[in-house]
Amino acid sequence: MKDRFERQINYMRISVTDRCNLRCFYCRGVHDFSFIAHEEILTYEEILRLVRLALQLGINRFRLTGGEPLVRKGIEHLVQEINSLDEVRDLSLTTNGVLLLNYLEKLKAAGLKRLNVSLDSLQPEKFKKITGFNKLQNVLEAIVRAVDLGFEPVKINVVLLKGINDEIENLLRLAYELPVHLRFIELMEFSPVDGYFVSGKKIYEQLAQKYKLEPVAVAGSGPARNYYRIKGMKGSFGFILPYSDHFCGSCNRLRLSADGKLQTCLFSNETTDLKGPLRGGATDEDILQLIKSALAKTSKLAGKLWTGQEKWPAWDRRIGWEGS
Ligand code: SAM
């Protein structure tokens, strides 16, 4: 399935809940406890129906996310159901890792092979400052066990936060000690806080000056286009640079919110409601049409950013904070 910019769309991120067991200050804000009512959240049956329909459009790679996907009961059953569909090429899950240790065996038995774990600091007090909870140990134990159980790749998402987790080389220790792939991510505009942006490109340049970076291939690379290894590393690291290096041109994804809204571009608030039609008796053909027309309408902004006709609105300001 192609969107209006002729990009091949084959990947869907499915948020299974908006609830989370951490309160990362840069994500939705520490005081935001406004959650979607349970009855507004798509049921697993509704999600599965959409997955089957997406497959008909050639969307065959899926990621389960949230909120925190592991706080939703029975997530392993959804994993198993999706995984059992023949046409599914790839299924992965993004988690903060807090509950992961207890889920690893169930997820593996359900057929999950890949994992992304979010972890912004290896210092317990920093971890608590960022997330509001003292759970670093749980996350680390889960990462080590995931590797032992053979999940591959295990990717570690690190959001770069100025003045908070300026510990890049400390974080890189994970990739020396374990075959995991770190992804340093630039803080995105939808954060409720200002003043924490760090340019990932600068971090890359600093590392490249100090070390010999050897490019490596990592399965399902997504927006982190390049991964590197420093001599002695078992794993690798890469960068997701929505500001320093737009990745719109290679974007292949749709996002489905927990309450059934389809978003074709992360940088646009335009969404298409699928829950109403799903619950209102829409036929499969109706829903397919809705997905197709959402793709046909993909925000003009995405195309302009991608072709360089327009700069991301906060681009100059963000880079300005870095003084370059
Ligand atoms: N709870 C799961 C987790 O922590 O991985 C899945 C959802 S969480 C929203 C997905 C990822 O988005 C996490 O890696 C988080 O750090 C990242 N994230 C949240 N807000 C962000 C922002 N403003 N900029 C960049 N990344 C952000």
- Ligand 1 neighbour 66 (Cβ under 6 A): yes
Q: In what order do the strands lie in the sheet with 214-216?
A: 214-216, 227-229, 236-240, 181-185, 154-159, 114-118, 90-95, 61-65, 11-15, 253-256, 261-263, 271-273
Q: How far is the CA of 281 from the centre of ligand 1 (A)?
A: 34
Atom of ligand 1 nearest to the CA of 68: 1
Read off the pTM: 0.90
Q: With 90 as the cut, is the pLDDT of residue 51 above it?
A: yes
What length does the chain have?
324
Cα-Cα-Cα-Cα torsion 121, 238, 92, 249, nearest 10 degrees, comes to 130
**Alpha carbons within 13 A on the beta-carbon side of 24:** 21
Flag the least confident range among 43-57, 133-147, 251-265, 300-314: 300-314
pLDDT tens digits, 173-224: 999 999 999 999 999 877 778 889 999 999 999 999 999 999 998 876 566 5
- Ligand 1 neighbour 118 (Cβ under 6 A): yes
- Ligand 1 neighbour 65 (Cβ under 6 A): yes
Residue owning the nearest CA to atom 4 of ligand 1: 96
Mean pLDDT of 50-56: 97
**Higher-pLDDT residue of 264, 30:** 264
For residue 239, give the amino acid letter. Answer: F
> Which of 96, 114, 130, 256, when mutated, tests ligand 1's pocket best, judged by the most ligand atoms within 8 Å of its CB?
96
pLDDT at residue 192, rounded to an integer:
78
Please list, in sequence order, all residues whose beta carbon lies within 8 angstroms of the beta carbon of residue 129, skipping any fewer than 6 positions away: 25, 164
- Ligand 1 neighbour 257 (Cβ under 6 A): no
- The whole-angstrom distance between residue 148's C-alpha and the CA centroid of its chain comes to 23
> Which of 115, 157, 182, 263, when mutated, tests ligand 1's pocket best, judged by the most ligand atoms within 8 Å of its CB?
157
Residue owning the nearest CA to atom 23 of ligand 1: 191
pLDDT at residue 239, rounded to an integer:
92
pLDDT tens digits, 84-124: 999 999 999 999 999 999 999 999 999 999 999 999 999 99
Flag the least confident range among 15-24, 137-146, 306-315: 306-315
Q: How far is the CA of 283 from the centre of ligand 1 (A)?
A: 34
**Which domains does the chain carry?**
11-322 (3.20.20.70)
If pLDDT is split at 50, 70 and 90, which confidence band does 24 have? Answer: very high
Mean pLDDT of 2-7: 68
CB 167 within 8 A of CB 126: yes
Residue owning the nearest CA to atom 18 of ligand 1: 27
Q: How far is the CA of 27 from the centre of ligand 1 (A)?
A: 6
